[in-house]
Structure 1
């Protein structure tokens, strides 16, 4: 890929008279700045610092070309304002980096020509990088009053999304601010439904709202996935480094594990470190679930406990006592009373998806250890001794313990059934995470097959016949990947 300065020089060589270039310098300079932004978007390096250095080098070369424009060719007010705007836009090209020079030239451009809306728009983006929410929004709203177009509406949506998590600096209610982001994004898409960047912003707003409220609103998760998938279908956003990654994480929360692993593997081609780590985390979760369902827990503490018990001639081990108590609890599940408005069912009778007016009563065998605080995974067993996974959002893991008896209302059931080779794209991660092929450079294909039940609201669950205490409810932001 040629650099912006190389492309500009090539075009200049094709022009017979240098004076002709300066005579019509504004469109030529504008095209050069556009090339810089394309270079920023398409240029990938092994680390962010190298990318920033390469971009700043190209900006410096382009600035030299701009400064070579004779003074007499930029003396009118409109020419001076365009020159300042292009200089400011050049300095503002570095992604996620605020440049004081950019703000200086863009303010100068808006002072020289208050009707230069492109300069106001660019100034708003520059101030957003600076962290100046109020001035950034004022700049965007000035443009919006003059021309309500899809680009400025999308900029406002992105601004609200950027500052919503930082409620201490901007809003007392970040969730409400995310609502503003969603409104702006929807208005943008009403004007231009091919704006992939806006679909990405909309999806991110839904996903951020989901986890900022503790994972209560399952509809936000579904809306996020729908918007991410629409963004993926639009060519201009397929090269976005975070799109595949974010969509894959949402798929993991929705238990679309194979789609999640595929998306993370594809994202690893552009963001290898964290994406490969998330593949590892996902496979470890699935391996633990599969191992527990098969009665092959990898908990080393159990092995140590078993080893110590060999030297004892009397008494029962703690593990055996626990198994006996859980077994007794399972046998008693069928005798537990149930609200007559619900139909009693075991897991094998559930259909995939929402099972209205149905309840499953089960015993908690154990907590499934996981990298993050949310969601929480448990292994349960119903009265017919069918084992399944319970996934809980919005409730702290301490609310449910081993040996508890739980009643699940209107359960949302998922059938997980897929195979995965289990290997990564990086040499440092090429060893299988499965306990069945440890150390192998070519890991065996794993077949994951289990049923799970999701709980989105505390009202859907009783623990030992009682509602979940409000003390265990999660209503604030919870961080998970």
Structure 2
């Protein structure tokens, strides 16, 4: 495919680009019956070319990208208007002409155009049986954020036939609706149902798989981050979508894959996905995410390896275990890390669990085991989710504790934390010449954690949607 710059230079000279030679009909050419007898097929090809261009054309800024797309839309409209009036006199031909013009104006992703609505409404008035016009009108009203009306048009088409494309448009609509509705979980559930219906008809639909993955991740966020299974389902759908032709190298999918992989602590894969997205589409806010992820990894690696710049090296601040008197009442005291570690073995443990240290854990869930560690510090970084702590076990092994679904106030520096059936992740990879190697234990529920030998109160569970930024 020629570059956007090449296309623009050629078009400014009044010629068609290589990709458009077969689909664009310039006014300056001879107008013969032979040429326009099959105009409907030609303009269908032109619309497909334009939509592919809009989906795969990337520029340094969104403004530049939209400007390029509007230029191409103008060229296509010019070609469409060159069709002689006598070749589109029938009701059906007039409807297809209006549908095509509406689809051309409607081609910029996420951008509502009044002209698109006008021509698509004309198409439905001329030919109410033209289902493509109703689908396109639904897409137009979704961009206008008139979600009930868009849903009405999609559902009308479904009364005529069960169509996978319409079902995933409905799924996408519910995902959009969830962002503004009073009951977001309901719309996420509806999104998943529509996506699953669509995939039952075509399980290789990459767009639908992408929507399904996004719905599962949205559900994870809305639930407060406790349902680890939804992040796994999200990643599974995303990875299936990546293997399809239409979603291969899609930067938005790469970006979302990067975020989900970071939440799953697949840091190497996360960095690869974010880097690929940044290269493909510079207009996305990917470089910032990439930078913050590397900075987080640098901090975790440094703390676990004992490279913290904490002035009180070897000591941590914790709550006084005894009663305070006078002016010192309520203030924290410095407690030796070594004494905290030595006292870990004295903490009672339910006999249904076997006491373990970090070096005996396997990657993944560790059924029947419990690890007890002293909290060295809460890791401060740009995001508020998840929480990261650095702990030491009774063998003085430092590791990262990654916390979802639990409020920050539940665990503090100097606490002794018991992790029941810990889910373990071994991080070991290189990125841009630096080797990252540490062990992380993940918790999602208050029931998985004891603090200073006591169960956490249910009030510490996060029951609101996660806030991703501090």
Q: Same fold (TM over 0.5)?
A: yes
**Where has structure 1 moved over 4 Å in runs of 4 or more?**
2-5, 7-17
Indicate if the aligned counterparts of 2:445 and 2:461 stay in contact, CA closer than 8 A: no
Q: Show the 5 A alignment for 1:247-396.
A: 247-272=257-282, 274-298=285-309, 322=334, 324=336, 326-396=337-407
The superposition leaves residues 218-252 of structure 1 with CA deviations (integer Å, 9 ceiling, x where unpaired) of 00000111111111111221132211111111111
- Which of these residues, 205, 208, 221, is aligned with residue 198 of structure 1? 208
Deviates more, 1:341-350 or 1:201-210: 341-350
Indicate if the aligned counterparts of 2:217 and 2:230 stay in contact, CA closer than 8 A: yes
Return the offset for 1:55: 1.3
Partner Cα separation in structure 1 for residue 123 and residue 390 of structure 2? 63
Q: Show the 5 A alignment for 1:138-217.
A: 138-167=152-181, 172-217=182-227
Indicate if the aligned counterparts of 2:104 and 2:116 stay in contact, CA closer than 8 A: yes
Return the offset for 1:323: 5.1
In structure 2, what is the equivalent of residue 70 of structure 1?
Answer: 84
TM-score (norm. length: structure 1): 0.86
Indicate if the aligned counterparts of 1:206 and 1:223 stay in contact, CA closer than 8 A: yes
In the alignment, does 2:454 pair up with 1:466?
A: yes
Partner Cα separation in structure 1 for residue 21 and residue 434 of structure 2? 55
Return the offset for 1:42: 2.2
* SS in structure 2 at match of 1:329: helix
Return the offset for 1:70: 2.5
Partner Cα separation in structure 2 for residue 32 and residue 255 of structure 1? 44
Cα 1:43–1:250 shift into 2, 3 Å? same
Deviates more, 1:138-147 or 1:40-49: 40-49
- Which of these residues, 421, 427, 430, is aligned with residue 416 of structure 1? 427
Indicate if the aligned counterparts of 1:291 and 1:298 stay in contact, CA closer than 8 A: no
Partner Cα separation in structure 2 for residue 72 and residue 226 of structure 1? 53
- The gaps in structure 1 that reach 5 residues or longer are 304-320, 422-444
Indicate if the aligned counterparts of 2:60 and 2:281 stay in contact, CA closer than 8 A: no
Return the offset for 1:195: 0.9
Return the offset for 1:22: 2.6
The superposition leaves residues 170-195 of structure 1 with CA deviations (integer Å, 9 ceiling, x where unpaired) of xx321121111111111111211221
Return the offset for 1:85: 0.8
* SS in structure 1 at match of 2:286: helix
Cα 1:181–1:225 shift into 2, 3 Å? same
In structure 2, what is the equivalent of residue 33 of structure 1?
Answer: 47
Deviates more, 1:194-203 or 1:234-243: 234-243
Return the offset for 1:302: 6.3
The superposition leaves residues 290-321 of structure 1 with CA deviations (integer Å, 9 ceiling, x where unpaired) of 2112222135x769xxxxxxxxxxxxxxxxx7
- Which of these residues, 20, 26, 34, is aligned with residue 34 of structure 2? 20
Return the offset for 1:67: 2.1
- Count of equivalent residues: 437
The superposition leaves residues 33-72 of structure 1 with CA deviations (integer Å, 9 ceiling, x where unpaired) of 2221122122221111111111112212222222222322
TM-align CA RMSD? 2.3
Return the offset for 1:149: 1.4
The superposition leaves residues 114-161 of structure 1 with CA deviations (integer Å, 9 ceiling, x where unpaired) of 110000000000000000010100010011111101111111111111
Return the offset for 1:10: 5.8
